[in-house]
Amino acid sequence: MDKLEIQGNGPLRGEIRVSGAKNAALPILCAGLLSADTISLDNVPRLQDVGTTLKLLRQMGMKAEQDGTHVTLNGAGVDLPEAPYELVKTMRASILVLGPLVARFGQARVSLPGGCAIGARPVDQHIKGLQAMGAEISIEHGFIHARAKRLKGARVVTDMITVTGTENLLMAATLADGETVLENAAREPEVTDLANLLVKMGARIEGIGTDRLVIQGVDRLHGASHAVIADRIEAGTFLCAAAATLGDVVLRGVSPHILDTVLDKLREAGAAIEAGEDWIRLKMAQRPQSVSFRTSEYPAFPTDMQAQFMALNSVAGGVARITETIFENRFMHVQELSRLGADIAVEGNTAVVTGVPRLSGAKVMATDLRASASLVIAGLVAEGETVIDRIYHLDRGYDRMEDKLSAVGAKIRRIA
Ligand code: EPU
């Protein structure tokens, strides 16, 4: 298992190009199942989760070619509408094939994802929505079986806002008979990016970017070309690293508008931020100030940035209260940050972080994707050497993070 070795050595300085968004690329790749024509994609990040999705799609009979950040898909030969346990257990986002499969092929057999490190994460809303659209669904031997001659348009109000749930139902609705209304829809930029691709494929969707998506089903979708939007969480992670190390970093290839709340919190922490249409510059001249926040659905503060801001708060001046409202168990990084000297007390779903003047390097363990990112940030500011074990979590969602950080002056290397 690979590890990352980091020597804390002062400010990050330079430029970083932001990759395409993992959480946009995954549903977009699954959207390839909706058509028999060719989908041509750019800015697809080179990640473990993208590799897993391509493997899953190929196993169903999809033709998929990957050349750097370019991917072409052709779904003409898809003949096995199934997602096996072996792949779903390694990547929960595999559930995103359920909607497209039942919409185009009238049936699907998808392994039920289990719980994971950050919470139970049920998929009941995906199932409830498809049932409302006329699918017959049974759960047998750990698999979701869905059948429908043709899905029918319906009004679906999800009990909570769910990102992949919205994406699954949106994809299903594009090929349903009649009008579907998705109320309480997720408004994350990644949902919008998927919707924009679907429109290019011939889908009829209104309300894109709002919490009410209205879809008129069509008989078939055709081929299209699309470039995946920038990864706002990767961008936010590098900005936190720059702020924590008192650095001066310019990010390229990302619009500041998808990061509003994150940029506001960084300004509150004392960072000077400038931005243009597709770049963001952050300069931190003095020790950051603590910033309190609660995670919530877009456009509020993202749960996927909670751990990274906890690392930043660990070395800030003051006391921060961080409340996690999306996932019930997303504080696994607290114990590991504490090993580096952070002062964090957890009370229910709130972490109280008292900033300390310095952290000290230690051996720590990555527990999930964003937890790993918080340990990298802490390692960059800790005195001495930090070794992070189990970084396969990091590789799932960050495109060559150690190369990008080395290029702006970090002393970080991968040990096989
Ligand atoms: N939920 C249910 N039932 C459902 C669906 C969701 O109870 O049927 C609950 C979840 O358990 C959770 C809340 O609703 O408590 C919100 O979950 P959501 O469905 O929005 O999460 P997700 O779609 O599984 C996506 C991202 C996550 C990100 C969350 C929240 C992808 C592939 N994953 O997950 O990304 O944290 O939205 O924004 O888009 C990550 O990238 O590190 C990551 C975990």
Residues 7, 48 within the same domain: no
CATH at 26: 3.65.10.10
Per-residue pLDDT, 271: 98
Ligand 1 atom with the shortest distance to the CA of 160: 14
Distance of CA 186 to CAs 25, 32, 208, 275, Å?
16, 21, 10, 26
Residues 389, 284 within the same domain: yes
Residues 149, 252 within the same domain: no
Per-residue pLDDT, 1: 85
Predicted confidence band of residue 119 (pLDDT cuts 50, 70, 90): confident
- State yes or no: pLDDT of 48 exceeds 80: yes
Per-residue pLDDT, 135: 98
Ligand 1 atom with the shortest distance to the CA of 298: 38
Residue 304 Cα, ligand 1 centroid: separation in angstroms? 10
Ligand 1 atom with the shortest distance to the CA of 23: 39
Nearest CA to 379 out of 1, 2, 46, 12 is that of 12
What amino acid positions are annotated as catalytic residues?
116
Residue 350 Cα, ligand 1 centroid: separation in angstroms? 19
In this structure, what token pair is assigned to residue 349?
Answer: 């779903």
Please give the residue range of the domain that contains residue 181. 22-227
Per-residue pLDDT, 365: 95
Residues 71, 140 within the same domain: yes
Q: What's the mean pLDDT in 14-35?
A: 98
Residues 241, 388 within the same domain: yes
Q: Which of 227, 248, 265 is the last residue of a domain?
A: 227
Q: What's the mean pLDDT in 295-308?
A: 98
Residues 146, 129 within the same domain: yes
Place of tokens 């169903």: 60
Residues 140, 57 within the same domain: yes
Mutation choice for ligand 1 from 28, 163, 228, CB with most ligand atoms inside 8 A = 163
Residues 212, 340 within the same domain: no
Across all residues in the chain, what is the average pLDDT? 97
Nearest CA to 95 out of 107, 108, 113, 78 is that of 113
* Model confidence pLDDT, tens digit, residues 185-227: 999 999 999 999 999 999 999 999 999 999 999 999 999 999 9
Per-residue pLDDT, 118: 83
State the binding site for UDP-N-acetyl-alpha-D-glucosamine. Answer: 92, 121-125, 304, 326
Q: Is 338 helix (H, G, I), strand (E, B) or coil?
A: helix
- State yes or no: pLDDT of 120 exceeds 90: no
Q: Which of 170, 197, 227 is the last residue of a domain?
A: 227
Q: What's the mean pLDDT in 108-114?
A: 92
- State yes or no: pLDDT of 335 exceeds 90: yes
Place of tokens 């060719």: 38
Per-residue pLDDT, 413: 97
**Burial 309-331, CB ≥16 within 10 A → b, else e:** bbbbbbbbeeebebbbbbbeebb
In the chain, how many domains are there?
Answer: 2
State the binding site for phosphoenolpyruvate. Answer: 22-23
Angle between helices 232-244 and 22-31 (to 10 degrees): 170
5-14, 115-124, 177-186, 325-334, range with the lowest pLDDT: 115-124
Per-residue pLDDT, 66: 97
Residues 217, 263 within the same domain: no
Residues 196, 166 within the same domain: yes
Residue 190 Cα, ligand 1 centroid: separation in angstroms? 12
Residues 109, 143 within the same domain: yes
Q: Which residues does a 6 A CB cutoff place in the pocket of ligand 1? A: 22-23, 26, 93, 119-126, 160, 162-165, 303-304, 326-327, 369-370, 397
Which residue's C-alpha comes closest to atom 36 of ligand 1?
A: 304
Ligand 1 atom with the shortest distance to the CA of 304: 36
Q: What's the mean pLDDT in 75-103?
A: 96
Mutation choice for ligand 1 from 121, 211, 332, CB with most ligand atoms inside 8 A = 121
Residue 246 Cα, ligand 1 centroid: separation in angstroms? 32
Residue 325 Cα, ligand 1 centroid: separation in angstroms? 12
Distance of CA 330 to CAs 38, 325, 342, 392, Å?
39, 9, 17, 18
Residues 63, 201 within the same domain: yes
State the binding site. Answer: 22-23, 92, 121-125, 304, 326
Predicted confidence band of residue 15 (pLDDT cuts 50, 70, 90): very high
Q: Which of 202, 227, 252 is the last residue of a domain?
A: 227
Residues 6+ apart with CB under 8 A from 78: 33, 60, 61, 62, 104, 105
Predicted confidence band of residue 90 (pLDDT cuts 50, 70, 90): very high
Residue 188 Cα, ligand 1 centroid: separation in angstroms? 11
Mutation choice for ligand 1 from 19, 23, 192, 330, CB with most ligand atoms inside 8 A = 23
- The phi-psi region of residue 394 (left if phi > 0; otherwise alpha if psi is between -120 and 50; otherwise beta) is alpha
Better-predicted residue by pLDDT, 5 or 113: 5
